[in-house]
Amino acid sequence: MIYKMTRRAALAGVASIAMIAAGATSALAEGWKPQKPIEMVIMAGQGGGADRIARLFQSIIQKENLASMPVLPVNKGGGSGAEALRYLKDSEGDAHKIMATLNSYYTTPLRTDIGVDIEEFTPIARMAIDTFVLWVNADSDVQTLDDFVAAVKASGGEWKMGGTGTGQEDSLVTAMLEKEFGIKVTYVPFGGGGDVAKNVVGGHVDSSVNNPSEAMGFYKAGKMRPIMALTPERIAVFPDTPTARELGHDIVYSMQRSFVGPKDMPAEAVAYYTEMFRMVSETEEWKTYTADNSLNADFLTGDALQAYFLEEREKHAAILAAMGSDGSS
Amino acid sequence: MLVADRVIAIAIMALSAYFMWHATALPIGWNGMTGGPGGGAFPFWLSLIMLLSAGGVLARSFVQAPSSQHFFDSVMLRKVILVVVSIVVTIALIPVVGAYVALPLFLFWYLRIYGGHGWVLTGILTVATPVFLFFFFEVTLKILLPKGVTEPLFFPLYAMFF
Amino acid sequence: MDTLALLADGFATSLSPLNLMIVILGVTAGLFIGAMPGLGSVNGVAIVLPLTFIVPPSSAIILLCAIYYGAMYGGAISSILLGIPGASTAVATTFDGRPMAQQGKAGLALIAAAVASFVGGTISVLLFTLFAVPLADLALAFGPAEEFALVLLAFTTFVGLGGDDKLKTVIMICLGLVLSTVGLDLISGQPRLIFGDLPGFYAGISFLVLAIGVYGIGEILYTIETSRTAPQVTPAKITLRDLGDGVRTMNKMWRTMSLGSFLGFFVGMLPAAGATPAALMAYGIARSTSKNPKSFGKGNIEGVAAPETANNAASTGSLLPMLTLGIPGSPTTALLLGGMVMWGLMPGPMLFIEQPDFVWGLISSLYTANFAAVAINIALIPLFVWALRMPFTVLCALVIVLCIVGGFAPSQKMHDVWLIAGFGVAGYLLRKADYPLAPLVLALVLGPLMEKSFRQTLISEQGNILAFVERPLSGTFIAIAVLFFVLPLVKYLRKGGARSIAPAE
> What confidence tens digit (pLDDT) does each residue in A141-198 have?
999 999 999 999 998 888 999 988 888 888 899 999 998 999 999 999 887 777 888 8
Claim to verify: residue B86 and residue B55 sit in the same structural domain: no
Instruction: Please check the confidence at residue B70 and state whether its pLDDT lies above 60.
Output: yes
Residue B69 domain-assigned (yes or no) = no
Claim to verify: residue B83 and residue B54 sit in the same structural domain: no
CB C89, CB C78: distance < 8 Å: no
Question: Which residue from B31, B142, B161 is facing A17, i.e. has the nearest CB?
Answer: B161
- DSSP-derived 3-state class of residue B131: helix
Instruction: Provide the pLDDT for residue A17.
Output: 45
Alpha carbon separation from C130 to C3, C6, C7, C126, C137 (Å, rounded): 8, 12, 11, 6, 14
- Chain A CB contacts of C202 under 8 Å are 78-79, 82-83, 86
Residue B68 domain-assigned (yes or no) = no
Report the distance separating Cα B59 and Cα B53, nearest Å: 10
Claim to verify: residue B99 and residue B139 sit in the same structural domain: yes
CA–CA min distance C414, chain A (Å): 12
Residue B127 domain-assigned (yes or no) = yes
Report the distance separating Cα B99 and Cα A293, nearest Å: 42
CA–CA min distance C26, chain B (Å): 13
Strand partners, A257: A128
> What confidence tens digit (pLDDT) does each residue in C62-112 have?
888 889 888 888 888 888 988 888 777 888 898 899 888 888 888 889 989
Instruction: Provide the pLDDT for residue C488.
Output: 67
> What confidence tens digit (pLDDT) does each residue in C45-74 have?
887 777 776 777 778 878 888 898 888 888
Report the distance separating Cα B161 and Cα C376, nearest Å: 28
Residue C498 domain-assigned (yes or no) = no
How many CB pairs below 8 A link B and C? 197
Asked if C393 lies within 8 A of B84 by C-beta distance, the reply is no
Among positive and negative, which fits the CA dihedral C157, C161, C162, C168? positive
- DSSP-derived 3-state class of residue A130: strand
pTM: 0.84
Please, what is the Cα angle at C101 between C99 and C102, to 5 degrees? 65
Q: Is domain A133-252 classified as CATH 3.40.190.10?
A: yes
Claim to verify: residue B106 and residue B156 sit in the same structural domain: yes
Question: Which residue from A5, A36, A329 is facing B155, i.e. has the nearest CB?
Answer: A36
- DSSP-derived 3-state class of residue B59: helix
Please compute the mean of the pLDDT values over residues A87-92 and round it to a whole number. Answer: 91
Residue C364 domain-assigned (yes or no) = yes
Report the distance separating Cα C24 and Cα C45, nearest Å: 15
Q: Does A70 touch chain B (CB under 8 A)?
A: yes
Instruction: Provide the pLDDT for residue A23.
Output: 40
Please compute the mean of the pLDDT values over residues A63-89 and round it to a whole number. Answer: 87
Name the percent of chain B lying above pLDDT 90.
51
- Pairing mode of beta strands A122-131, A254-261: antiparallel
Report the distance separating Cα A37 and Cα A97, nearest Å: 9
Residue B27 domain-assigned (yes or no) = yes
Instruction: Provide the pLDDT for residue C272.
Output: 63
Instruction: Please check the confidence at residue A257 and state whether its pLDDT lies above 50.
Output: yes
Question: H/E element holding C155?
Answer: helix C144-159
Give the domain extent around B8. 2-63
Return all residues near A133 (Cβ < 8 A) that are at least 6 apart. Answer: A209, A210, A211, A212, A215, A226, A227, A228, A229, A230, A235, A238, A241
Asked if B135 lies within 8 A of A2 by C-beta distance, the reply is no
Instruction: Provide the pLDDT for residue C236.
Output: 59
Alpha carbon separation from C414 to B88, B93, B145, C398 (Å, rounded): 12, 11, 10, 19
When pLDDT is cut at 50, 70 and 90, the band that residue C271 belongs to is low
Strand partners, C185: C190
Residue C504 domain-assigned (yes or no) = no
Asked if C187 lies within 8 A of B39 by C-beta distance, the reply is yes
Give the domain extent around C223. 2-493
Into how many domains does chain C fold? 1
Asked if C170 lies within 8 A of B49 by C-beta distance, the reply is yes
How many CB pairs below 8 A link A and C? 179
Q: What is the ipTM of this complex?
A: 0.92
When pLDDT is cut at 50, 70 and 90, the band that residue A19 belongs to is very low
> Helix H segments across chain B?
2-23, 41-63, 74-97, 99-108, 119-133, 155-161
Instruction: Provide the pLDDT for residue C500.
Output: 44
Asked if C460 lies within 8 A of A217 by C-beta distance, the reply is no
Report the distance separating Cα C296 and Cα C259, nearest Å: 17
Strand partners, A131: A254
Report the distance separating Cα C468 and Cα A80, nearest Å: 29
CA–CA min distance B156, chain C (Å): 22
Report the distance separating Cα C190 and Cα A313, nearest Å: 19
Residue of A nearest to B144 (CA): A37
Choose, out of B127, B129, B139, the residue to mutate when testing the contact with A (most A CBs < 10 Å): B139
Report the distance separating Cα B89 and Cα C377, nearest Å: 37
Instruction: Please check the confidence at residue C227 and state whether its pLDDT lies above 50.
Output: yes
Candidate from A318-322, C224-228, C382-386 with smallest mean pLDDT: C224-228
Instruction: Provide the pLDDT for residue A272.
Output: 94
Claim to verify: residue B146 and residue B115 sit in the same structural domain: yes
Q: Does A37 touch chain B (CB under 8 A)?
A: yes
> What confidence tens digit (pLDDT) does each residue in C178-195 have?
999 998 787 777 778 877
More confident residue, B73 or A207: A207
Into how many domains does chain B fold? 2
Instruction: Please check the confidence at residue A223 and state whether its pLDDT lies above 80.
Output: yes
Do the two domains A38-130+255-323 and A133-252 of this chain adopt the same fold?
yes
Claim to verify: residue B81 and residue B59 sit in the same structural domain: no
Instruction: Provide the pLDDT for residue A11.
Output: 47
Choose, out of B134, B135, B157, the residue to mutate when testing the contact with A (most A CBs < 10 Å): B135
Strand partners, A75: A42
Claim to verify: residue B35 and residue B94 sit in the same structural domain: no
Q: Would you list the domain boundaries of chain A? A: 38-130+255-323, 133-252
- Chain B CB contacts of C397 under 8 Å are 106-107, 110-111, 115, 125
CB C94, CB C82: distance < 8 Å: no
Instruction: Please check the confidence at residue C284 and state whether its pLDDT lies above 80.
Output: yes
Claim to verify: residue B98 and residue B57 sit in the same structural domain: no
Nearest residue to A56 via CA among A216, A253, A259: A259
Q: Does C272 touch chain A (CB under 8 A)?
A: yes
CA–CA min distance A271, chain C (Å): 24
CATH class, range A38-130+255-323: alpha beta
Alpha carbon separation from C174 to B16, B19, C203, C337, C441 (Å, rounded): 10, 11, 20, 35, 11
Residue C432 domain-assigned (yes or no) = yes
Report the distance separating Cα A221 and Cα C356, nearest Å: 15
Instruction: Provide the pLDDT for residue C503.
Output: 37
Claim to verify: residue B56 and residue B81 sit in the same structural domain: no
Q: Does B132 touch chain A (CB under 8 A)?
A: yes
Claim to verify: residue B49 and residue B90 sit in the same structural domain: no
Please compute the mean of the pLDDT values over residues A249-270 and round it to a whole number. Answer: 92
